[in-house]
């Protein structure tokens, strides 16, 4: 009977004891909380200048110290000057998104981290809408630790689309002037009937050609429907007769003179002979 009571007491004590797994989870949570709290309590701050604007960077270190921070806007990187005192140092840094971030296609991208130009081991331990926290393992002898992102102060290069101002083309109304064609009045030229061609005396018009009028005899012309002597022919015939008479007399006188001279020569020759 007593043994049963003892066993019941033991079983009740075991039930009251907490679960080992639960204790382990609680212990790890407390340790992690303590580490994070300690890190924030003893976090250090350094200012970095980015194109004339100063930003504060919070960080904690183990086994190393940070002597300075510089920005490189060309390579979009933060350069930490470090001195690792242990065989391996640890850097825990919080990066405000409003200061420095790594974005690709509007999605968070990994930071690329170099320790003296060699890839360093790193892990992103906390991500919020305001900041991103990294823990970086820094080898002994490292001088420069470079964290490469996509831009400073949300300076991710954006394509600025300039508003294209389309100038309104004003089409002026073309006024076509009506061409008034004046009616040209062509004056009709009245050609008077020309009188028939007139022909001279002794000729008549036939088929628009003057021909001899043979209706009267030679030396006559038609005048007043009667044949009369042609005065021009009478004048020309009398003149010709006079010329012929003068020529005949002149010729006769010339011949008589020649004969007289010949006779005179013959008479003189005969006289000399006697």
pTM score of the predicted model: 0.44
In a domain, 241, yes or no: yes
The better pLDDT of the pair 169, 129 is held by 129
- Claim to verify: residue 26 and residue 54 sit in the same structural domain: no
In the predicted model, what is the mean pLDDT of residues 92-99? 93
Q: What's the confidence (pLDDT) of residue 160?
A: 44
- Claim to verify: residue 7 and residue 75 sit in the same structural domain: no
Q: How confident is the model at residue 104 (pLDDT cuts 50, 70, 90)?
A: very high
* Nearest of 150, 154, 120 to residue 134 by alpha carbon: 120
- Claim to verify: residue 131 and residue 63 sit in the same structural domain: yes
Q: How confident is the model at residue 158 (pLDDT cuts 50, 70, 90)?
A: very low
Q: Is the pLDDT of residue 172 over 50?
A: yes
Q: How confident is the model at residue 167 (pLDDT cuts 50, 70, 90)?
A: low
In a domain, 185, yes or no: no
Tokens standing for 35? 């580490």
Percent of the residues in the chain that have a pLDDT greater than 90, as a whole number: 38
CB 140 within 8 A of CB 89: yes
Q: What's the confidence (pLDDT) of residue 58?
A: 94
- Claim to verify: residue 28 and residue 52 sit in the same structural domain: no
In a domain, 71, yes or no: yes
Q: What's the confidence (pLDDT) of residue 195?
A: 52
Q: Is the pLDDT of residue 154 over 60?
A: no
Q: What's the confidence (pLDDT) of residue 181?
A: 62
In a domain, 49, yes or no: yes
The better pLDDT of the pair 181, 74 is held by 74
What would you report as the CA-atom Rg of the chain, rounded to the nearest whole angstrom? 76
Domain boundary among the residues 134, 152, 170 is at: 152
Residue 47 CB: number of other CB atoms within 10 A?
9
Cα 117 to Cα 79: distance, rounded to the nearest angstrom: 11
Domain boundary among the residues 95, 130, 152 is at: 152
Q: What's the confidence (pLDDT) of residue 166?
A: 56
- Claim to verify: residue 54 and residue 142 sit in the same structural domain: yes
Lowest mean pLDDT among 68-72, 94-98, 206-210, 214-218: 214-218
Q: What's the confidence (pLDDT) of residue 219?
A: 67
Q: What's the confidence (pLDDT) of residue 40?
A: 46
Lowest mean pLDDT among 49-63, 76-90, 122-136, 150-164: 150-164
In a domain, 182, yes or no: no
- Claim to verify: residue 27 and residue 93 sit in the same structural domain: no
Q: What's the confidence (pLDDT) of residue 39?
A: 45
Tokens standing for 5? 């009571």
- Claim to verify: residue 31 and residue 52 sit in the same structural domain: no
In a domain, 205, yes or no: no
Burial label for 171, CB within 10 Å (0-12, 13-18, 19+), is exposed
Number of domains in the chain: 3
pLDDT digits (tens, 9 = 90+) for 198-213: 777 767 777 778 877 6
By residue range, what is the domain housing residue 31?
2-35
In the predicted model, what is the mean pLDDT of residues 86-109? 94
Q: Is the pLDDT of residue 71 over 80?
A: yes
Q: Is the pLDDT of residue 108 over 70?
A: yes
The better pLDDT of the pair 229, 106 is held by 106
In a domain, 239, yes or no: yes
Cα 50 to Cα 75: distance, rounded to the nearest angstrom: 13
- Claim to verify: residue 68 and residue 100 sit in the same structural domain: yes
- Claim to verify: residue 26 and residue 53 sit in the same structural domain: no
């Amino acid at each position: 009977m007593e043994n049963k009571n003892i066993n019941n007491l033991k079983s009740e004590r075991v039930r009251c004891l907490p679960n080992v797994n639960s204790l382990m989870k609680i212990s790890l949570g407390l340790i992690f909380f303590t580490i994070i709290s300690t890190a924030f309590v003893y976090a250090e701050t350094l200012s970095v200048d980015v194109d004339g604007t100063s930003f504060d960077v919070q960080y904690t270190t183990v086994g190393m110290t940070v002597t300075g921070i510089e920005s490189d806007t060309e390579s979009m990187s933060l350069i930490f000057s470090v001195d690792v005192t242990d065989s391996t140092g640890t850097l825990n840094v919080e990066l405000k998104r409003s200061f420095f971030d790594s974005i690709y296609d509007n999605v968070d991208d990994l930071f690329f981290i170099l320790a003296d130009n060699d890839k360093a081991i790193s892990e992103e331990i906390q991500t919020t809408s305001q900041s991103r926290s990294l823990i970086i393992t820094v080898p002994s002898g490292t001088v420069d630790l470079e964290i490469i992102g996509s831009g400073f102060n949300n300076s991710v290069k954006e394509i600025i689309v300039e508003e294209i101002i389309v100038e309104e083309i004003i089409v002026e109304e073309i006024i076509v002037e009506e061409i008034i064609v004046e009616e040209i009045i062509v004056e009709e030229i009245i050609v008077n009937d020309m009188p028939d061609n007139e022909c001279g005396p002794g000729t008549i018009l036939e088929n628009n050609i003057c021909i001899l009028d043979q209706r009267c005899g030679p030396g006559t012309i038609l005048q007043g429907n009667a044949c009369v002597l042609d005065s021009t022919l009478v004048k020309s015939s009398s003149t010709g007769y006079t010329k012929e008479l003068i020529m005949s007399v002149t010729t006769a006188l010339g011949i008589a003179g020649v004969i007289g001279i010949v006779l005179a020569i013959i008479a003189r020759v005969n006289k000399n002979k006697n």
